[in-house]
């Protein structure tokens, strides 16, 4: 009932105000149909012509958001769910983002087309969502639904592609300082300029915060200090255009953080550096595009254990110099007057090196492995009936080879030492897709698509033996894992009314097979301590269906709004490990999600935004015996430019003071930015 009341109140707030603005003259309108995206296919296409549901978060939207990190900015998009609270930052061990009910770690994150899911450091392919300075972002493209036909592994639920800014013709320099709750302080800056052929963009930021107190609802662990964070990041891009048809760019990213987890000897230290070289050539007949990239990571997780009633240092878990490198090249060729064919090849190689340094004793633990992807792909797009019908079809073949896998432990707790060399294996994955878009008129779009996808097991799941809880949990690697696979279809419609109201409704349905999860091998008790032995396995089949509804309204006079509602059911259809879970919902994904916002832009007076988020009906355990409390959060931001060079800003997160959501309750941040 509370959900219905919240939704009705929001609609009452939105539409009466629009009644007097509907017939206004001279206002800008929405112009939704002109947005351009590239994530949905291998060539540029407008949002209206995309066969799958796509959203674009523009530079203006990013500026209006009170949040610094991508995972917080995208949490208000239809179909997207983030189970973490705003202050969590990134702990280096968990991805909290899910899309269309597929579960955590099934969203592909890209930066200018480069895949960022690391594939090596843990079972959930961790992503540093805060790795890119916000000032560097041009827009964020969100594609809902499987993406393997275009981009390969990972994106069962969808894609989040961050597009960075190019150097601008107009010289720009900005410096921003921020301070706020929990002793949070930060500074960031950007410089951009461009000459006739060359351009350069540089940005960076630093932030430190005392963070918040963690809470363990099960009472198993104690957290005695705040979950602090210390973050530094930098991004640079050099662009060169030797002629009007050719573009070459080189970009680099540096990211470092230390994140405390609530105890003195329980924290992460992570260093990432990433590089990309891009090339495009617009020919008389064919258009070429390619890139090379390298992602490197050096991660250390400092672990403690309980001894004599207190937590003491135990071991340092290290992933030194893990790498992902690859490249791709593609060519787009016109076919007749209204069709084009895009074909290309992508390659990616992943390496994992893991070792442990015990604080005491001479125990030696290590594991390693390699993963290699070779992926030709092809897409065809055709237009009919004076561009009122757009058809798109494509297929990608991924040959994945896993090799050099091994794991060792010279002195495992309560178990025999092991030194294992895992056999190599190869997977072949075909990922087809097809979609069609129909425009009955210039303001209406009807679309449907059927797509398939897969997620290859990470090197962590295949080769690393995972220990937690001071040795009480041991999860064996499983080199015999198969990729998770999904088949999904959707159908939807969108309409722009009087250049003021935009509405979109989408129904989707998916089935995931070979869903990866832990399978219990043995449980036993030693000296009153319970030990659990598990193995990663393909244990489940999951059925998913849902509806996404979206509304945006422009009142005029600088006032715009949005509201979206997502209903999602993710049901475990079959579970070989625990049949009692069959018929239950996946954990941590609400059945009902409401998001809304009001934005007011009047540079001569004030700019402001207010965002609403409401979730309910979310289970926190596999057997669906416990539900998370439903809650409503409101976030507020107000800013104004003064003296033509300074922008003052105040952000208030969690205005509703939901302490079950953010342990410290309401959060306040203020900033000042100087633009030259």
Q: What is the pLDDT of residues 19-35, one digit of tens each?
A: 333 333 334 555 554 56
**Per-residue CA distances from 296 to 249, 251, 328, 352 (Å):** 20, 14, 18, 11
pLDDT for residue 105: 78
Hey, how many other C-beta atoms are within 10 angstroms of the C-beta on 563?
Answer: 21
pLDDT confidence of residue 21 = 33
Which position has the higher pLDDT, 564 or 520? 564
- R_g of the chain, CA atoms, integer Å: 25
Token couple for 500: 């003021």
pLDDT of residue 414: 62
pLDDT at 580: 85
* Residues listed for the chain: 676
Give the start-end residues of each E strand in 359-388.
365-384
Q: Tell me which residue has tokens 């030492």.
A: 417
- Comparing 220 with 657, the larger pLDDT belongs to 657
Strand, helix or coil at 167?
Answer: coil
The helices-and-strands tally (H runs, E runs) of the chain is 5, 36
Residues 38 and 52: their CA atoms lie apart, in Å, by 12
Cβ-based burial of 76 (10 A; exposed 0-12, middle 13-18, buried ≥19): buried
pLDDT at 438: 97
Q: Residue by residue, what is the 3-state secondary structure of 92-133?
A: CCCCCEEECCCCCCCEEEEECCEECCCCCCCCCCCCCCCCCC
Spatial distance between the Cα atoms of 564 and 555, rounded to a whole number of angstroms = 17
Rounding to the nearest 10 degrees, give the CA dihedral for residues 662, 663, 664, 666: 30
Q: pLDDT > 90: what percent of the chain? A: 48
More confident site: 562 or 498: 562
Element containing residue 148 per DSSP (H, E): helix 148-151
Task: Note whether 423 and 403 are within 8 A (CB).
Answer: no
pLDDT at 112 over 60: yes
**Of 134, 131, 204, 195, nearest to 168 (Cα)?**
195
Residue 315 pairs with which residues in a beta bridge? 303, 358
Supply the pLDDT for residue 470: 59
Q: Judge whether 636 and 620 are in contact, CB under 8 Å.
A: no
Cα 575 off chain centre by: 27
Model pLDDT for residues 327-339, shown as the tens digit of each residue:
999 999 998 888 9
Highest mean pLDDT among 46-55, 73-82, 147-156, 368-377: 368-377
Please, which pLDDT band fits residue 14 given cuts at 50, 70 and 90? very low
Least confident range from 4-13, 437-446, 532-541: namely: 4-13
pLDDT tens digit sequence for 264-312: 888 888 888 999 999 999 988 899 999 999 999 888 889 888 777 788 8
Is the pLDDT at 3 greater than 80? The verdict is: no
Residue 528 has pLDDT above 80, yes or no: no
Query: Is pLDDT above 60 for 661?
Result: no
pTM for this predicted structure: 0.89
Average pLDDT for 523-534: 76
For the chain, percent of residues with pLDDT exceeding 70? 88
List, for residues 149-198, the tens digit of each pLDDT value. Answer: 999 988 899 999 999 999 988 889 999 999 999 899 999 999 999 988 99
- Residue 328 CA to residue 278 CA, distance in Å, equals 10
What is 2-675's CATH number?
Answer: 2.40.170.20
DSSP letter (8 states) at residue 604:
T
The two tokens of residue 90 are: 């990134």
Higher pLDDT, residue 342 or 30: 342
Q: Which residue has the tokens 């080769």?
A: 463
Given this model, what pLDDT does residue 29 score? 56
**What's the CA gap between 189 and 173, in Å, rounded?**
7
121 three-class SS? coil
pLDDT digit string (tens) for 475-487? 788 888 999 999 9
**How confident is the prediction for the chain on average, in pLDDT?**
85
Higher model confidence: residue 630 or residue 269? 269
Closest CA to 658 of 631, 628, 618, 637: 631
| 456 DSSP assignment | P
Checking if the pLDDT of 13 tops 80, the result is no
pLDDT at 662: 58
Residue 412 has pLDDT above 70, yes or no: yes
Does residue 118 surpass a pLDDT of 90? no
**Strand 158-164 to strand 107-111: parallel, antiparallel, or no bridges (unpaired)?**
parallel
Are the C-beta atoms of residues 53 and 77 closer than 8 Å to each other?
A: no
Q: Which residues contact 58 (CB under 8 A, 6 or more apart)?
A: 35, 139
Q: Which of 322, 320, 211, 321 is nearest to 266 (CA)?
A: 211
Provide the pLDDT for residue 93.
44
pLDDT of residue 319: 86
DSSP string, 315-330: EEEEEEEEEEEEEEEE
């Amino acid at each position: 009932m509370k959900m219905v009341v919240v939704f009705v109140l929001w609609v009452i707030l939105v539409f009466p105000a629009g009644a007097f603005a509907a017939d206004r003259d001279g206002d800008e309108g929405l112009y939704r149909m002109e947005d351009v995206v590239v994530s949905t296919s291998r060539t540029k296409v407008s949002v209206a012509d995309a066969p799958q549901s796509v959203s674009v978060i523009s530079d203006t939207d990013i500026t209006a958001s009170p949040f610094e990190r991508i995972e917080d900015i995208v949490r208000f998009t239809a179909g997207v769910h983030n189970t973490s609270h705003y202050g969590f930052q990134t702990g280096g061990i968990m991805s909290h983002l899910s899309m269309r009910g597929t579960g955590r770690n099934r969203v592909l994150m890209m930066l200018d087309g480069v895949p960022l899911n690391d594939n090596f450091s843990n079972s959930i392919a961790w992503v540093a969502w805060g790795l890119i300075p916000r000032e560097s972002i041009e827009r964020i493209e969100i594609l809902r639904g499987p993406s393997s036909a275009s981009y390969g592994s990972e994106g069962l639920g969808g894609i989040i592609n961050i597009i960075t800014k190019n150097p601008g013709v107009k010289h720009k320099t900005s410096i921003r300082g921020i301070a706020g709750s929990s002793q949070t302080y930060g500074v960031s800056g950007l410089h951009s300029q461009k000459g006739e052929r060359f351009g350069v963009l540089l940005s960076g930021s630093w932030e430190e915060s005392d963070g918040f107190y963690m809470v363990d609802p099960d009472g198993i662990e104690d957290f005695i200090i705040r979950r602090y964070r210390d973050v530094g990041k930098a991004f640079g891009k050099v662009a060169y255009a030797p002629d009007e048809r050719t573009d070459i760019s080189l970009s680099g990213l540096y990211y470092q953080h230390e994140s405390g987890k609530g105890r003195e000897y329980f924290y992460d230290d992570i260093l990432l550096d990433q590089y990309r070289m891009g090339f495009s050539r617009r020919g008389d007949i064919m258009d070429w595009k390619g890139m090379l990239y390298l992602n490197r990571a050096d991660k250390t997780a400092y672990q403690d254990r309980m001894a004599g009633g207190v937590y003491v240092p135990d071991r340092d878990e290290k992933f030194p110099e893990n790498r992902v490198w690859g490249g791709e090249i593609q060519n787009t060729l016109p076919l007749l007057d209204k069709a084009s064919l895009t074909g290309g090849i992508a390659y990616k190689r992943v390496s994992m090196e893991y070792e442990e340094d015990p604080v005491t004793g001479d125990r030696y633990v290590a594991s390693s492995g390699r993963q290699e992807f070779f992926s030709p792909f092809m897409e065809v797009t055709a237009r009919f009936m004076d561009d009122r019908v757009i058809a798109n079809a494509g297929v990608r073949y991924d040959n994945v080879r896993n090799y050099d896998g091994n794991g060792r432990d010279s002195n495992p707790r309560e178990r025999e030492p092991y030194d294992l060399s895992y056999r190599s294996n190869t997977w072949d994955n075909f990922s087809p897709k097809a979609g069609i878009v129909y425009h009955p008129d210039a303001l209406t779009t009807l679309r449907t698509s059927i797509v398939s996808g897969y997620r290859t097991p990470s090197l962590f799941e295949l080769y690393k033996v995972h220990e937690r809880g001071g040795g009480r949990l041991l999860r064996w690697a499983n080199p015999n894992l198969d990729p998770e696979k999904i088949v999904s279809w959707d159908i939807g419609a969108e309409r722009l009314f009087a250049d003021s109201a935009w509405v979109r409704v989408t129904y989707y349905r998916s089935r995931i097979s070979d869903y990866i999860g832990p399978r219990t091998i043995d449980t036993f008790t030693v000296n009153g301590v319970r030990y659990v032995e598990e193995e990663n396995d393909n244990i489940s089949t999951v059925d998913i269906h849902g509806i996404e509804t979206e509304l945006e309204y422009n009142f005029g006079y600088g006032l715009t709004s949005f509201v979206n509602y997502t209903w999602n059911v993710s049901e475990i259809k079959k579970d070989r490990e625990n049949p009692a879970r069959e018929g239950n919902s996946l954990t941590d994904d609400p059945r009902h999600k409401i998001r809304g916002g009001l934005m007011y832009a009047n540079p001569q007076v004030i700019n402001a935004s207010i965002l609403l988020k409401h979730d309910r009906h979310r289970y926190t355990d596999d057997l669906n015996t416990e539900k998370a409390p439903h809650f409503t959060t409101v976030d507020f931001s107000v800013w104004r430019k003064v003296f033509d060079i300074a922008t003052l800003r105040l952000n208030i997160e969690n205005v509703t003071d939901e302490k079950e959501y953010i342990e410290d309750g309401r959060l306040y941040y203020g900033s000042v930015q100087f633009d030259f």
